[in-house]
Chain A
């Protein structure tokens, strides 16, 4: 089929619905003046991301995304917000000046145009394989054979981050 909906209409409808929700929520994350609302909009973006991972066939990654991001990192953000802010309502003082925001928008727009041009120049009309569900066994095989060194390095990094965060944040 030549239409933008392709052969798998249901998957494309799901993609565009989730993508629209994610983009709107992401815009609210970077424009909301209420820090707690920004964190809750981030939950919407991260959950939508898990949906996109399922559409791409990476189910284990979707579960990890929900557990690590929505379960842990958002809670960290909310703790950080509450420990560093006396007020929880709208806060006029979270954004840069209007001129700086316009320049930020300009930089982001230019970046988007350049990346969009590069993407459509290189990958226009490239279709993903229809069967793309990824079983967990090959992934764990790869982690514990091909990628064993980065895996061990990640565990050391996590330990270092744990100790570093405790040392930084403790009172003495």
Chain B
């Protein structure tokens, strides 16, 4: 199989995730798009690991899965806190730091 297959699939999913982060206003949906981005990067790592026949790609992908799980846990806790304080998770309304 060609390496470019996997790299292009990864790029397409990455760009779809970037579009989701830019186009969404709901905080939970933005977090989902971030998950798409992190997963797209994993395909790259594993594909290059298979190309060079080393284990580094798989190990890094495992670390990314662990970090993504931590990120989602804390991110959703923050979203819950915002919802409890403001009764909304619309990202446009979270502008307290806007001078």
A residues apposed to B, CB below 8 Å: 4, 6, 8, 11-12, 15, 19, 22-23, 26-27, 29-30, 35, 38-39, 42, 45-46, 49, 52-53, 55-58, 60-61, 64-65, 68-69, 72-73, 76-77, 79-81, 83-84, 91, 93-96, 100-101, 103-105, 107-109, 111-112, 115-116, 119-120, 123-129, 132, 134, 138-139, 141-143, 147, 150-151, 154, 157-158, 160-162, 164-166, 168-169
B31 touches A77 (CB 8 A): yes
Total chain B interface residues with beta-carbon distance under 8 A: 70
**Extra pairs beyond A29-B16, A128-B47 (17, CB < 8 Å):** A15-B1, A35-B26, A38-B29, A39-B32, A49-B39, A57-B50, A83-B80, A96-B25, A100-B23, A104-B23, A107-B22, A111-B14, A123-B4, A134-B58, A157-B67, A157-B70, A168-B74
- Contacts known (A30-B33, A79-B76); A56 close to B16, Cβ less than 8 A: no
Q: List 11 A-B contacts (CB under 8 A).
A: A19-B9, A29-B16, A29-B36, A30-B33, A38-B32, A58-B57, A68-B69, A76-B76, A108-B16, A125-B4, A150-B63
Contacts of A107 in B (CB 8 A): 18-19, 22
A30→B17 contact, CB < 8 A? yes
A168-B4 in contact (CB<8A): no
